[in-house]
A and B are shown apart, each in its own frame.
Chain A
Amino acid sequence: GAGVSQSPSNKVTEKGKDVELRCDPISGHTALYWYRQRLGQGLEFLIYFQGNSAPDKSGLPSDRFSAERTGESVSTLTIQRTQQEDSAVYLCASRDVEVKLFFGSGTQLSVL
């Protein structure tokens, strides 16, 4: 079946601009995660959704980062006033009933 879909796959933006990254989880998966992966690094937890609520936002690096989820489906990660240190791959994952996480291919964000 269809996997986790993320868009855009690549985003180049200028410092100071806002960006929106989208995630479409696997149908029926109620839990959704956002992670960040800097070049050559491991995955850094950002936020977790259960349904449309976010019980754990502890990984969001600053108040410039926010995320929402609607209809227990699509999620959007928004980064305001982007900085060069925001450049990374942003990965979304959804979780099945066996507690396994399935990742999308990510959005490569480059802030110039």
Chain B
Amino acid sequence: GENVEQHPSTLSVQEGDSAVIKCTYSDSASNYFPWYKQELGKGPQLIIDIRSNVGEKKDQRIAVTLNKTAKHFSLHITETQPEDSAVYFCAASISNFGNEKLTFGTGTRLTIIP
């Protein structure tokens, strides 16, 4: 089955600087890659996703890049703010409009230092 590795496990960034979180996946058939943000005591919230037919997607301060050949994808947060502090999870799945069983990475705890 799919295996997703995520790093770093913790990341501290000065407010205003950029943060980058990286994930690799094992199954070349995976074609859907979402990123989730989880705040304390809450469920994961989808913040951005990308499908395998594109290499990059942006949404304001957040961007995701995908390298299908190398089987890795990354989350980029620019101009970080204190409210960006949370645990971030990457995931991968084979989207066949049937079972979208997401396989998650182990998470990155991002701390923004004011």
Contact = CB atoms under 8 A, between A and B. Distances in A.
Contact of B104 (A31, A42, A100): A42
B43 interface: yes
A99 B91 CA distance: 13
Determine chain B's interface SS by DSSP, over half rule. Answer: loop
Interface in A56-101: 56, 91, 93, 95, 99-101
Interface residues of B, number: 25
A105 B39 CA distance: 10
A43 B106 CA distance: 8
A4 B105 contact: no
A91 B44 contact: yes
A42 B89 contact: yes
B104 A102 contact: no
Q: Which 7 A-B pairs have the closest CB atoms?
A: A103-B43, A43-B104, A42-B104, A42-B106, A105-B43, A103-B44, A104-B43
